[in-house]
Amino acid sequence: MKRLIVLLLVFSIISPSIVSASSDEQAKLYERRMELYKKFETITHIPWYYLAAIDQYERNLRYSRKDLPKPEGAIGIHFSKEEWSGPLNPVQEDTSPSTISIFGGVGQDGNGDGTANRLDDEDVLYTMAQYIQSYGTDHDNIKIALWDYYQRDKTIDLILGHMKIYKHFGTLDLDKHAFPVPLRSNHSYKNTWGDRRGWGGLRIHEGTDIFAGYGVPVRATTYGIVEIKGWNRFGGWRIGIRDLNNTYHYYAHLNGFAKGIEVGQIVEPGMIIGSVGSSGYGPPGTAGKFPPHLHYGMYKDNGYSEWSFDPYPHLRAWAREERNRK
């Protein structure tokens, strides 16, 4: 028993420093990224929040796909060897700007050291910024540049959404989360992702049900943009919010929406977006076919498609995070 008490005391002493160290490292990483965005904003006149949005989108792809290497530096933008050095270049990891140019590669020297290294943060960000700049520096031309580069409407929407969030808050430090309903409210939930569901045809349950009384406030869990709002035959009154991790957060069976919530609106953790209800499974206005609860789902976009994943571990973590803040 004494040993346990000692261990607890030791942990209580060292754990804040561990958390602080981790927070300090993250703060330094954000500071470094912002320095790079601002540097190349000055050079290319591409506003920093566009560069941050592209970088964040690509970083998310690299974490969600197995065919892309995980990011190692501060910048997450990825160029393949063929893109960077040129498809016919015999030197796959060429760092010479002159020969890269001869073979049609995109790689450029962004820090003036005479080399174009596709693993160097400054070279990578400068190369992307120069590509965007070749189309123009206003919003419409940047949008055209993004389309020509990615050729996917959804990708353009995600990047421009990220841009709006960064521009609105003026910072990269947007990692805070909140639980979907007030922690002090009378609610309950368990892991129901993947369970069988029969309404509207046999399928799996793509979310976690949080049971609470009618009218309990429903809150945004993350920084993001309202992507959809309205009625769905199965989900009833529902809202969809896209965050900076390319993740779509789906809130269904609402009793109603918070005043002023509209598609395209920027939200932040804890912001009230609606209330718990039992709407759905019928034409607009249908309700009461099941106990009031919030269906909370999460979907990841990987640049090709979107799929559901289990929100339960995230909900548990966000509840702990919110309690710790208080």
In this predicted model, what pLDDT tens digit does every residue of 206-258 receive, in sequence order? 889 999 999 999 999 999 999 999 999 889 999 999 999 999 999 999 999 99
Q: Is the pLDDT of residue 6 over 80?
A: no
pLDDT digits (tens, 9 = 90+) for 92-140: 999 999 999 999 999 999 999 999 999 999 999 999 999 999 999 999 9
Give the model's pLDDT for residue 197: 61
Work out the angle at residue 280's Cα, subtended by the Cα atoms of residues 299 and 318, and round it to the nearest 5 degrees: 40
Q: For all residues of the chain together, what is the average pLDDT?
A: 90
DSSP-assigned beta bridge partners for residue 254: 237, 276
Query: pLDDT at position 15, please?
Result: 36
pLDDT tens for each residue of 269-291 = 999 999 999 999 889 999 999 99
**By the 8 A CB rule, do 229 and 273 touch?**
no
Residue 202, pLDDT score: 45
Position 75 pLDDT exceeds 80: yes
Residue ranges matching CATH 2.70.70.10 in the chain = 187-325
In the CATH scheme, what is the homologous superfamily, with its name and number, of domain 187-325?
Glucose Permease (Domain IIA) (2.70.70.10)
Comparing 97 with 19, the larger pLDDT belongs to 97
According to the model, what pLDDT value does residue 8 have? 35
Which H, E and C letters describe 252-312, residue by residue? Answer: EEEEEECCCCCCCCEECCCCEEEEEECECCCCCCCECCCCCEEEEEEEEECCCCEEEECCH
What is the DSSP annotation of 193-221?
A: TT-EE-TTSSEE--SEEEEE-TT-EEE--
Q: Per residue in 177-200, pLDDT tens? A: 999 999 999 999 988 876 656 555
Place of tokens 């566009």: 50
